[in-house]
A and B are shown apart, each in its own frame.
Chain A
């Protein structure tokens, strides 16, 4: 079983739709959580950190449920430019110490 599991998709949605991605992790000692975005044939880039209290950045909202070991990302009013692969990432150490473990990613395709 992979340490970080995501539904690979693809998720095909129309512009303006709301879409949610989920992720589960198996190591209960994990202490830091992130969503990264990866465009086709490009490197991953940090989208946002995920905090226990939940956090929002514009159209993006991230949630963490430590009891269920579950992380989510909600994208509202999706844009064509949101089309990418979204990687759920879990860190072994607190803050940014230690190493990051990446999920395989969920592919989003936003259509006009």
Chain B
């Protein structure tokens, strides 16, 4: 089992550019979560999916953020346009209905 795979590991981009973060959950896991972690705010849940359907996106900060899960093995989190305050580590996590969470290694995003 390869675990939850996120790409890229690091991303540095200029303000105003579009950023796309990618996640491949563990096969057979039917829940997928996107979290953001900063020193000031800790780990914040942005959005989560169940069977590829978005269930709760109340944590998405604003319209610049969007997330999709076109199939059970792939999800994206997009920021357009990016701003310096979006700099953070973005984690993807997945789980089975009755299982524990497994986090990916995260994407460290820096917007300059």
Contact = CB atoms under 8 A, between A and B. Distances in A.
Interface in A38-55: 42-46
Contacts of A105: 42
Contacts of A43: 91, 103-106
A103 B37 CA distance: 11
**Which bucket holds chain A's interface residue count?**
10 to 19
Nearest to B45: A99
A43 B35 CA distance: 11
B101 interface: yes
A101 B45 contact: yes
Nearest to B42: A104
B102 to A, nearest CB: 9
Interface string A21-61: 00000000000000000000011111000000000000000
A97 interface: yes
Interface string A51-75: 0000000000000000000000000
Contacts of B33: 99-100
B56 interface: yes
B69 to A, nearest CB: 15
Interface of B: 33, 35, 41-45, 48, 56, 91, 95, 97-101, 103-106
